[in-house]
């Protein structure tokens, strides 16, 4: 972390960048927030630890409009999103100085709390420099601990890898955290009967409160005006009366990012109701891989996206009934 | 044949591309090839004009089945439209299936301007399928139910 | 003071549900929210905070107001029925009860919101003391005692037994209705529990949060502060904070075409949304900074200005837990605190 | 809110017999926006259109819904009527209650209910219609004719005579097409070459016509009035400017084993060749696959003997790019392959031939110098059996379902010519039906039967069995006498079905013109626009559109020419206003829409916008209205819905969906 801060100060001092986009220490041990830093003094609050899960690439849309370059800290998975945004002309590569930061898996405070750890006043083991396999918590109800991996975000268990897809320089080591199959959960649902599938999604989506956090955090959902906020489509929605609207919203949300979603997992991370939203996106990814050839959005900036492409002998839609 | 009000009368929306399938439906008409009146056709310039939101909207408002008809692959009036439609609909249908919506409620069929017979046959089959599935309860808005 | 053994609670719920709707914390797909009690419901009284506050028992996320039907070229209007069935909300925490008090200020002052008023009239609140407050809690800052909730009935969970104390007429009536399951007891255990809870509260990290300077008179000073410009930046403009909040009361009115009529309904709105208070001419807040500022100015300045100093925040800490960008009202208050010190 | 008038057509009894039109009028009158509703016998008639004008005037209508036949039939009629009445033509929508309703339903109650719903959908749409205004685009005053057969030649001559430049692209080394392969033509029995050659010469000499032989269309872009076409001129290996057409090279060429395409492979030709004596241009090409020089590097005889020094082994394919205002497709036909018809023994016996092969045999310039003889042994035949409908009117998928139209007449012609020249030859014709509509056609057929004694047998041939004695045993049925017939023949001639030239598929794809399941190009309207393709600016000439004989082909060629001339005569075209349009305040500039646009109609601009007070420069999609054809691919790929299609907008389609589902 100190190396990152030093480098950020250096880049600010020598005028390479006008600001730094990273994370600022929060008021609790686990709630750092995305932040812009413009001075060396502000950087004293800079933090980078296991709780810095936020994907900062979406903030670069706004930062691309500012004077001068922005140093942005991107984890390996975040760089896919950044590439995708370059491809869609939403960020300006020239306006970014990308520091690829190492990652040893990001933590979910929800998972920690699900383990019964509450009243947390201090955490150790979440620092990037620390190779500890265990997280230790001081709480008002005594000291607690858990395995680092048990507190990791779902996405880290199916990590795409340690490589950064785009960067200007790299700081820090990354760790292999993958210990599950990316499509295992999707396959589990695919194997269900229609009634079970329906019950599963009905139950999960019944929790949705239409806060739009999944949409607003998504780097692919970067529309100036979402179709669900727009009167132009006669589809403006705010809250449900009936369960249909959630389905409509989540199907279309996933459809609009199909072939563009990098599977960064932010949607599931931020859902206040713990809905496994990645299951929608990953279903599309799995179908695309199987039907149109493996495709990883954000792995490059010039390939044709699966939904703006075709071959003469693509599968017919009836394949859905045949599989 | 008289209309029995007790009987399930499905609402079926058929999106037909202007160049092939709508003409195919016209040919079915001029050839007097009957299919059930439950099918109502919406004319679109091309199957690629069909937005997944239109399909979900139809279900929301009470449709029991939605079918999209376009030119045969390779014959699109706009040369490539139906190829895009094919991918879009494949993914959408797969998602609906994944969410437990009966996959027979959606269908894509390529019908050329010359295939009046195929149009009529397709519609007869589709209506029969919807009859066998019954009323759409998994993907509608309750407020729209009568 | 009465008590009932934890294992008899199901019988208690069943009895209450006989002639009233009963809402209580239920675990649905891993998340605890207030929901209607059923025999199959996975009731969860151990989780401290439901994800959403229980405010929707009185102010639902969406509710119909009336329906228009077409009759030839004429239009027939049918208003939605007001709440007429009695119901119980069981397990609300002190902060959430206080949240309802905030909503009362809005909806029960003239012009009275009849939908809300009907629900308030028919609802009985059974509150529960917070056994183990958490680090995100700061209700004490707003003068709330989570050890002793003030509602129709107050309850405490101590050593496998629920202690029950009616505080109002409605509470007495409910107690009478379930008396067959309750046994009389003294308050000794409850007093010990209160002391224990209050001791924990003193140890919470946000206990010393100061609201100094936040009041109805602070309007211009706070509004014009440059701090907002920095504070809002991580905000994603989602509605999480407003939808989990027990006091957020803004709603939008929308029409839904059912094909055979038009339902006019209202639903929660969020000041974080870009179309919040959108009018024909456009929007009077054009930037996210302005919308972000609105939320906190409303809670800490405008609301107290109009409601005898009552803040529109109860320190439940839900926004602290749920904000995707880790922003929250505490960080806002602290930011101004530090700024004040510098000046 | 619109003020909508709804007009329900009876279409005589076509609609009114099954749909209770009065009830429809009554029901739609209650729909939002409807201020006028009436029914009339024939809305498309003058009187019907006058009713629209009257109602527009009286009720101040802003939108019109006509419940009638398919919009493909009369949308234009009613749009024009609206325009005359002072309403924007795009404020008209059609509810198709004939093809999609009255003609397919029998139950009046059901059909009426459906008609009302279809009308409601149209009303819901019109409520959201906005006036649209066509733009303008320029017209390049030059036409392209693809195919140099009689259809292409005639079309080119007619267009050129009207004063416009025309290019003919022909893939073989000479123009002339199938007609040049024919010996005589029915029903007048005049020599095919005698009437075709002057046309070929005229085309070649015409100052407005440029002929690209041995050339193919490689790429087409653009749109009506402004096509850009790449033509591949294949390397001839002979310099056309130097060649005098003396023919010495062909004589001296040592490689003479290549099958002659012109003679249907019945004999061979040299590697350097002109397909036939009257070829235009009279410039040979080197068949590089057959040429010894190209295969081994040794030889070079033609180069040595050519006095003009025209041989050029280094010649390369050349791409010519040209702009055109109109394109006429005249790609013609071929006979089908007979691989699926083993029973006729076509592949087993040289004496089983197709009718087109017989044309070559009968022709003085053909493989037998015009003598009727068996190809197996050169003997004069005495018994010839003709089999009609080989692959035509076929109910299984071995052949074609359609009637090839020309076979009855040319078979009568062949039979008559043979009987005339060789009275000793017995001719038997097996037929399903004899179809002879056409001027002097039936008389012609009857002469064959009555004057020339041709034996017509109603029935099909089941099998042709080559015999050890070299004869062919024909087993057929005689339906009139209800008996099996066995006939020993010396030759069997198969009236093979015709099908569109194979290359038409590729050409249709390039032109985005639609083709039917039999690969015939689709006309814009089967009756009323038979020479136009649905793709604007593309016209159809000859058999590429459907089976035709020569007079019909020439007539259609002229008609296609007139349509092309009508287009070329305009200085500017009005463009389809139903084009895509991006809402600049919503557009993300993500380029996804441009990725799916088949016409390259979308580009991006850095544009200053005022988004509710926020002024900034944004990357925004801009649609070129002249290029956009209105398919809508971009509108669905656009996640925010910033891109919308005028005339088929998101809200309009959703309104239709809602109206149908309610």
**Cα A130 to Cα A48: distance, rounded to the nearest angstrom:** 12
Q: Give mean pLDDT, residues A114-137.
A: 89
Task: Evaluate whether D515 touches B71 at the Cβ level (below 8 Å).
Answer: no
Question: Which is nearest to A263 in space by CA: A158, A149, A109, A152?
Answer: A158
Q: Which of D589, D604, D640 sits opposite A225 (nearest CB)?
A: D640
Query: Which chain D residue is nearest to residue A86, measuring alpha carbons?
Result: D590
pLDDT at C340 over 70: no
Phi, psi (degrees; rounded to nearest 5) at D6: -110, 130
* Cα of A204 vs its chain's centroid, Å: 20
Residue A130 confidence (pLDDT): 67
Residue C338 confidence (pLDDT): 65
Per-chain mean pLDDT for chain D: 94
In C254-283, the residues whose Cβ lies within 8 Å of chain D are: 257-260, 282-283
pLDDT at A241 over 80: no
Q: Which of D619, D639, D650 sits opposite A223 (nearest CB)?
A: D639
Q: Which of C73, C260, C286 sits opposite D612 (nearest CB)?
A: C286
For residue D99, what is the DSSP state? Answer: I
**Cα D570 to Cα A101: distance, rounded to the nearest angstrom:** 65
**Cα D633 to Cα D596: distance, rounded to the nearest angstrom:** 6
Q: At what angle are helices C94-107 and C114-122 packed, to 10 degrees? A: 140
Residue C342 confidence (pLDDT): 39
CA B128, B132, B135, B138 dihedral sign is negative
D269 lies in the same domain as D224: no
Is D221 in a helix, a strand, or coil? Answer: strand
Instruction: Determine whether the interchain pair B37/D514 forms a contact, defined as Cβ–Cβ distance below 8 Å.
Output: no
Task: Evaluate whether A225 touches A275 at the Cβ level (below 8 Å).
Answer: no
Instruction: Determine whether the interchain pair D612/C260 forms a contact, defined as Cβ–Cβ distance below 8 Å.
Output: no
**Cα D290 to Cα D255: distance, rounded to the nearest angstrom:** 7
Instruction: Determine whether the interchain pair B61/C256 forms a contact, defined as Cβ–Cβ distance below 8 Å.
Output: no
Over residues C185-226, the pLDDT tens digits come to 999 999 999 999 999 999 999 998 999 989 888 888 899 999
**D653 in any annotated domain:** no
Query: Which residues fall within 8 angstroms of residue D49, CB to CB, at 6 or more apart?
Result: D43, D77, D78, D81, D84
Question: Which is nearest to A49 in space by CA: A67, A69, A28?
Answer: A28
pLDDT at A238 over 80: no
ipTM score for this prediction: 0.94
Nearest 10 degrees: CA dihedral of D646, D648, D650, D653?
160
Over residues C112-134, the pLDDT tens digits come to 999 999 999 999 999 999 999 99
Query: Which residues fall within 8 angstroms of residue C129, CB to CB, at 6 or more apart?
Result: C93, C94, C146, C147, C148, C149, C154, C155, C156, C157, C193, C194, C197
Tokens of C340: 């004040």
For chain C, percent of residues with pLDDT exceeding 70: 98
**Cα D657 to Cα D125: distance, rounded to the nearest angstrom:** 10
pLDDT at D616 over 50: yes
pLDDT class of C248 with cuts at 50, 70, 90:
very high
Higher pLDDT, C160 or D395: C160
Over residues D149-174, the pLDDT tens digits come to 999 999 999 999 999 999 999 999 99
Cα→Cα distances A109→A118, A150, B135, D480, Å: 10, 11, 44, 92
> What count of other Cβ atoms lies within 10 Å of the Cβ of residue C59?
24
Fold of B12-144: Rossmann fold (3.40.50)
Over residues D521-561, the pLDDT tens digits come to 988 777 778 999 877 899 999 999 999 999 999 999 999 99
Residue A244 confidence (pLDDT): 78
For residue D546, what is the DSSP state? Answer: S
**Cα A269 to Cα A214: distance, rounded to the nearest angstrom:** 8
The domain spans of chain B are 12-144
The domain spans of chain A are 2-110+158-171, 184-322
**D313 in any annotated domain:** no
CA distance B102 to chain D (A): 19
Instruction: Determine whether the interchain pair B144/C263 forms a contact, defined as Cβ–Cβ distance below 8 Å.
Output: no
**D656 in any annotated domain:** no
Cα→Cα distances C62→C10, C57, C58, Å: 29, 11, 11
For residue D63, give its domain range.
4-126
| Residues shown for chain B | 146
Instruction: Determine whether the interchain pair D641/A232 forms a contact, defined as Cβ–Cβ distance below 8 Å.
Output: yes
For chain D, percent of residues with pLDDT exceeding 70: 100
pLDDT class of B3 with cuts at 50, 70, 90:
very low
Tokens of A119: 């009243």
Nearest 10 degrees: CA dihedral of B80, B83, B88, B91?
-160
pLDDT class of D376 with cuts at 50, 70, 90:
very high
Cα→Cα distances A288→A13, A282, A292, A296, D58, Å: 46, 10, 5, 10, 58
Is D292 in a helix, a strand, or coil? Answer: helix
Token pair 């190809």 is found at D375
| Three-state SS letters, chain C | CEEEEHHHHHHHHHHHHHHCEEEEEEEECCEEEEEECCCCCCECCCCCCCCCCHHHHCCCCEEEEEEEEEECCEEEEEECCCCCCCEEEEEECHHHHHHHHHHHHHHCCCCCCHHHHHHHHHEEEEEECCCCCCCCCCHHHHCCCCCCCCCCEEEEEECCEEEEEECCHHHHHHHHHCHHHCEECCCHHHHHHHHHHHHHHHHCCCCCCCCCCCCHHHHHHHHCCCHHHHHCCCCCCCCHHHHHCCCCCCEEEEEEECCCEEEEEEEECCCCCCCCCCECCECCCCCHHHHHHHHHHHHHHHHHHHCCCCCCCCCCCHHHHHCCCCCCHHHHHHHHHHHHHHC
Phi, psi (degrees; rounded to nearest 5) at D299: 115, -110
D458 lies in the same domain as D513: no
Question: Which is nearest to D291 in space by CA: D246, D352, D223, D235?
Answer: D235
Burial label, C218 (beta-carbon count in 10 A; 0-12, 13-18, 19+)? middle
Query: Which chain A residue is nearest to residue B59, measuring alpha carbons?
Result: A244
Cα→Cα distances B3→B7, D104, D113, D114, D645, Å: 8, 16, 11, 13, 39
pLDDT class of B146 with cuts at 50, 70, 90:
low
Query: Which residues fall within 8 angstroms of residue D336, CB to CB, at 6 or more apart?
Result: D391, D399, D400, D496, D497, D498, D499
pLDDT at A69 over 90: yes
**Cα D447 to Cα D419: distance, rounded to the nearest angstrom:** 11
> What count of other Cβ atoms lies within 10 Å of the Cβ of residue D227?
22
Tokens of D149: 């057969």
Task: Evaluate whether A268 touches A55 at the Cβ level (below 8 Å).
Answer: no
pLDDT class of B5 with cuts at 50, 70, 90:
low
D379 lies in the same domain as D481: yes
Question: Which is nearest to A321 in space by CA: D56, D348, B98, D411?
Answer: B98
Over residues A150-184, the pLDDT tens digits come to 999 999 999 999 999 999 999 999 999 999 999 99
Q: Give mean pLDDT, residues D192-216.
A: 96
Query: Which chain D residue is nearest to residue B80, measuring alpha carbons?
Result: D598
Instruction: Determine whether the interchain pair D641/A234 forms a contact, defined as Cβ–Cβ distance below 8 Å.
Output: no
**Cα A320 to Cα B108: distance, rounded to the nearest angstrom:** 11
For residue D529, what is the DSSP state? Answer: B
**Cα B66 to Cα D89: distance, rounded to the nearest angstrom:** 31
Q: Give mean pLDDT, residues C233-240.
A: 95
pLDDT at A52 over 60: yes
Tokens of B72: 């045969």
D70 lies in the same domain as D163: no
pLDDT at B4 over 60: no
Instruction: Determine whether the interchain pair C73/D30 forms a contact, defined as Cβ–Cβ distance below 8 Å.
Output: yes
**D242 in any annotated domain:** no
- The number of distinct structural domains making up chain D is 5
Task: Evaluate whether D72 touches B22 at the Cβ level (below 8 Å).
Answer: yes
**D40 in any annotated domain:** yes
Residue A189 confidence (pLDDT): 97
Q: Which of A90, A226, A232 sits opposite D590 (nearest CB)?
A: A90
Nearest 10 degrees: CA dihedral of C39, C42, C44, C47?
-160
Q: Which of D111, D596, D657 sits opposite B37 (nearest CB)?
A: D111
**Cα A83 to Cα A57: distance, rounded to the nearest angstrom:** 9
CA distance B58 to chain D (A): 6
For residue A314, what is the DSSP state? Answer: P
The domain spans of chain C are 2-203, 216-342
Count CA atoms within 13 Å of residue C307 on its CB side: 20
Specify which residues C294 forms β-bridges with.
none
Specify which residues D94 forms β-bridges with.
D66
Mutation pick from B51, B54, B82, B136 vs chain D, by most beta carbons of D within 10 Å, is B51
Q: Which of D99, D648, D658 sits opposite B30 (nearest CB)?
A: D99
Q: Which of A120, A140, A272 sits opposite C322 (nearest CB)?
A: A272
Burial label, C230 (beta-carbon count in 10 A; 0-12, 13-18, 19+)? middle
Residues of A in contact with D639 (CB under 8 A): 221, 223, 227, 256-257
Tokens of C12: 């208690």
Residues of B in contact with D121 (CB under 8 A): 40, 42
**Cα D587 to Cα A88: distance, rounded to the nearest angstrom:** 12
pLDDT at D332 over 60: yes
pTM of the model: 0.79
Residues of C in contact with B143 (CB under 8 A): 256, 258, 263
pLDDT class of C237 with cuts at 50, 70, 90:
very high
Residues of C in contact with D661 (CB under 8 A): 259
Residues of B in contact with C259 (CB under 8 A): 61-62, 144
Over residues C141-188, the pLDDT tens digits come to 999 999 999 999 999 999 999 999 999 999 999 999 999 999 999 999
Query: Which residues fall within 8 angstroms of residue D319, CB to CB, at 6 or more apart?
Result: D218, D230, D231, D232, D233
Over residues D487-503, the pLDDT tens digits come to 999 999 999 999 999 99
**Cα D282 to Cα D279: distance, rounded to the nearest angstrom:** 5
pLDDT class of A240 with cuts at 50, 70, 90:
low
Instruction: Determine whether the interchain pair C286/D662 forms a contact, defined as Cβ–Cβ distance below 8 Å.
Output: no
């Amino acid at each position: 972390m100190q190396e990152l801060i030093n480098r950020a100060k250096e880049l600010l001092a020598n005028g390479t960048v006008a600001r730094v986009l990273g994370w600022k220490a929060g008021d609790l041990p686990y709630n750092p927030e995305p932040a812009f830093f413009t001075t060396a003094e502000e950087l004293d609050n800079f933090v980078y630890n296991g709780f810095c899960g936020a994907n900062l690439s979406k903030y670069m849309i706004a930062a691309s409009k500012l004077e001068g370059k922005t140093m942005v800290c991107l984890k390996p998975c975040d760089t896919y999103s950044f590439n995708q945004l370059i491809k869609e002309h939403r960020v300006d590569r020239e306006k970014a100085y990308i520091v690829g930061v190492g990652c040893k898996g990001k933590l979910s405070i929800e998972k920690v709390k699900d383990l019964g750890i509450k009243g947390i006043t201090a955490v150790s083991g979440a620092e990037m420099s620390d190779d500890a396999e265990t997280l230790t918590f001081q709480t008002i109800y005594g000291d607690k601990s858990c395995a680092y991996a048990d507190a990791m975000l779902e996405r880290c268990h199916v990590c795409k890898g340690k490589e950064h897809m785009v960067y200007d320089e790299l700081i820090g080591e990354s760790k292999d955290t993958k210990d599950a199959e990316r499509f295992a959960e999707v396959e589990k649902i695919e194997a269900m009967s229609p009634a079970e599938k329906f019950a599963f999604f009905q139950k999960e989506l019944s929790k949705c409160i239409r806060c739009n956090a999944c949409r607003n955090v998504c780097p692919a959902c970067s529309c100036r005006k979402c179709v669900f906020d727009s009167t132009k489509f006669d589809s403006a929605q705010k809250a449900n009366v009936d369960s249909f609207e959630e389905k409509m919203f989540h199907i279309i949300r996933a459809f609009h990012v199909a072939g563009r979603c990098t599977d960064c997992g932010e949607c599931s991370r931020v859902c206040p109701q713990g809905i496994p939203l990645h299951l929608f996106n990953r279903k599309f990814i799995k179908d695309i891989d199987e039907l149109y050839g493996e495709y990883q959005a954000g792995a490059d900036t010039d390939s044709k996206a699966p939904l703006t492409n075709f071959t003469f002998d693509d599968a017919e839609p009836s394949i859905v009934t045949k599989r | 044949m008289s209309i029995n009000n007790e009987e399930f009368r499905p609402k079926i929306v058929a999106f037909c591309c202007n160049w092939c399938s709508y003409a195919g439906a016209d040919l079915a008409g001029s050839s007097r090839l009957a299919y059930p009146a439950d099918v109502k056709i919406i004319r679109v310039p091309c199957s690629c004009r069909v937005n997944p939101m239109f399909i979900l909207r139809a279900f929301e408002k009470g449709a029991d089945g939605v079918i999209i008809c376009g030119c045969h692959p390779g014959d699109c009036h706009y040369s490539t439209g139906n190829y895009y439609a094919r991918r879009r609909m494949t993914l959408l249908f797969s998602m609906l299936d994944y969410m437990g919506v009966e996959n027979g409620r959606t269908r894509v069929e390529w019908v050329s301007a010359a295939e009046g017979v195929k149009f009529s046959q397709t519609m007869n089959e589709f209506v029969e399928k919807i009859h066998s599935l019954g009323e759409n309860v998994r993907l509608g808005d309750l407020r729209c139910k009568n | 003071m009465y008590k009932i053994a934890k294992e008899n609670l199901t019988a208690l719920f069943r009895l209450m549900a006989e002639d009233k709707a009963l809402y209580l914390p239920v675990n649905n797909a891993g998340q605890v929210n207030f929901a209607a009690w059923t025999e199959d419901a996975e009731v969860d009284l151990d989780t401290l905070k439901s994800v959403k506050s229980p405010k929707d028992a009185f102010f639902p996320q969406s509710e119909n107001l009336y329906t228009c039907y077409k009759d030839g070229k004429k239009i027939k209007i049918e208003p939605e029925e007001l709440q007429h069935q009695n119901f119980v909300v069981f397990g609300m925490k002190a902060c959430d009860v206080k949240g309802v008090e905030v909503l009362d200020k809005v909806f029960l002052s003239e012009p009275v919101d009849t939908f809300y008023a009907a629900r308030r009239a028919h609802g009985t609140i059974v509150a529960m003391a917070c056994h183990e407050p958490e680090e995100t809690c700061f209700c004490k800052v707003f003068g709330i005692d989570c050890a002793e909730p003030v509602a129709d009935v107050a309850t405490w969970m101590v050593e496998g037994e629920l202690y029950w104390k009616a505080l109002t007429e409605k509470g007495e009536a409910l107690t009478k209705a379930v008396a067959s399951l309750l046994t009389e007891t003294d308050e000794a255990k409850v007093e010990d529990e209160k002391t224990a809870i209050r001791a924990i509260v003193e140890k919470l990290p946000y206990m010393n949060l100061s609201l100094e300077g936040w009041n109805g008179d602070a309007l211009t000073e706070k509004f014009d502060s440059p701090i907002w410009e920095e504070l809002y930046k991580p905000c994603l403009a989602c509605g999480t904070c407003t939808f989990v909040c027990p006091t957020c009361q803004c709603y939008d009115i929308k029409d839904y075409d059912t094909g055979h009529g038009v339902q006019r309904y209202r639903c929660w709105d969020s000041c974080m949304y870009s179309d919040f208070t959108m009018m024909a001419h456009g929007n009077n807040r054009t930037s996210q900074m302005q919308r972000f500022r609105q939320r906190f100015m409303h809670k800490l300045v405008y609301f107290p200005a109009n409601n005898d100093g009552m803040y529109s925040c109860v320190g439940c800490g839900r926004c602290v837990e749920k904000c995707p960008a880790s922003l929250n009202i505490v960080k806002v208050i602290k930011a101004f605190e530090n700024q004040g010190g510098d000046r | 809110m619109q003020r909508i008038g709804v007009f329900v057509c009876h279409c005589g009894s076509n609609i009114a017999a099954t749909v209770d039109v009065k009830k429809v009028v009554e029901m739609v009158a209650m729909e939002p926006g409807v201020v006028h509703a009436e029914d009339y016998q024939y809305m498309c008639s003058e009187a019907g259109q006058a009713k629209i004008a009257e109602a527009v005037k009286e009720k101040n209508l802003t939108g019109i819904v006509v419940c009638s036949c398919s919009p493909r039939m009369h949308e234009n009629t009613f749009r024009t009527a609206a325009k005359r009445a002072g309403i924007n033509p795009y404020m008209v929508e059609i509810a198709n209650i004939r093809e999609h309703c009255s003609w397919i339903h029998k139950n009046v109650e059901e059909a009426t209910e459906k008609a009302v719903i279809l009308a409601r959908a149209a009303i819901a749409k019109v409520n959201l219609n906005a006036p649209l205004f066509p733009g303008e685009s320029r017209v390049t005053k030059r036409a392209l004719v693809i195919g140099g057969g009689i259809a292409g030649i005639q079309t080119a001559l007619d267009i050129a005579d009207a004063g416009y430049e025309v290019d003919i692209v022909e893939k073989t080394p000479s123009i002339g097409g199938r007609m040049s392969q024919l010996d005589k033509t029915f029903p007048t029995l005049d020599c095919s070459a005698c009437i075709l050659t002057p046309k070929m010469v005229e085309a070649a000499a015409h100052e407005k016509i440029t002929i690209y032989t041995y050339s193919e269309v490689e790429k087409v872009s653009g749109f009506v009035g402004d096509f850009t076409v790449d033509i591949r001129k294949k390397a001839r290996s002979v310099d056309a400017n130097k060649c005098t057409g003396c023919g010495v090279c062909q004589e001296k060429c040592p490689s003479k084993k290549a099958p002659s395409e012109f003679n249907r492979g019945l004999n061979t030709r040299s590697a350097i060749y002109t397909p036939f004596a009257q070829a235009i241009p009279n410039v040979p090409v080197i068949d590089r696959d057959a040429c010894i020089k190209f295969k081994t590097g040794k030889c070079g005889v033609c180069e040595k003997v050519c006095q003009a020094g025209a041989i050029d082994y280094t010649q390369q394919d050349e791409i010519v790019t040209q702009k055109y205002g109109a394109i006429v497709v005249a790609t013609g036909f071929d006979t089908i392959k007979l691989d699926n018809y083993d029973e006729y023994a076509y592949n087993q016996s040289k004496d089983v031939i197709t009718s087109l092969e017989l044309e070559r045999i009968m022709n003085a310039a053909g493989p037998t110098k015009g003598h009727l003889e068996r190809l197996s042994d050169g003997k004069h035949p005495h018994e010839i059996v003709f089999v009609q409908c080989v692959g035509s009117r076929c109910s299984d998928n071995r052949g074609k379902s359609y009637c090839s139209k020309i076979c009855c007449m040319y078979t009568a012609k062949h039979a008559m010519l043979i009987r005339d020249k060789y009275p000793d030859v017995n001719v038997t014709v097996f037929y399903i039906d004899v179809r002879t509509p056409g001027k002097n056609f039936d008389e012609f057929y009857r002469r064959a039967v009555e004057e020339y004694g041709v034996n017509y047998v109603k029935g099909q041939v089941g099998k042709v069995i080559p015999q050890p004695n070299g004869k062919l045993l024909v087993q057929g049925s005689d339906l009139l006498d209800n008996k099996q017939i066995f006939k020993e023949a010396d030759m069997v001639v198969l009236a093979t079905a015709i099908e569109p030239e194979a290359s038409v598929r590729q050409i249709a794809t390039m032109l985005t013109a639609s083709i039917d399941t039999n690969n015939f190009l689709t006309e814009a309207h089967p009756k009323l626009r038979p020479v136009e393709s649905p793709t604007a600016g593309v016209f159809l000439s000859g058999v590429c559109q459907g089976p035709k004989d020569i007079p019909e082909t020439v007539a259609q060629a002229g008609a296609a020419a007139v349509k092309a001339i009508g287009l070329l005569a305009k200085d500017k075209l009005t463009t389809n206003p139903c084009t895509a349009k991006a809402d600049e305040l919503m557009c993300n500039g993500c380029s996804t829409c441009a990725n799916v646009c088949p016409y390259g109609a979308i580009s991006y601009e850095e544009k200053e916008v005022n988004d509710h007070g926020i002024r900034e420069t944004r990357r925004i999609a801009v649609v070129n209205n002249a290029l956009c054809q209105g398919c809508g691919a971009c509108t669905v790929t656009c996640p925010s819905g910033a891109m919308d299609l005028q005339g088929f907008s998101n809200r309009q389609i959703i309104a239709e969906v809602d109206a149908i589902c309610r």
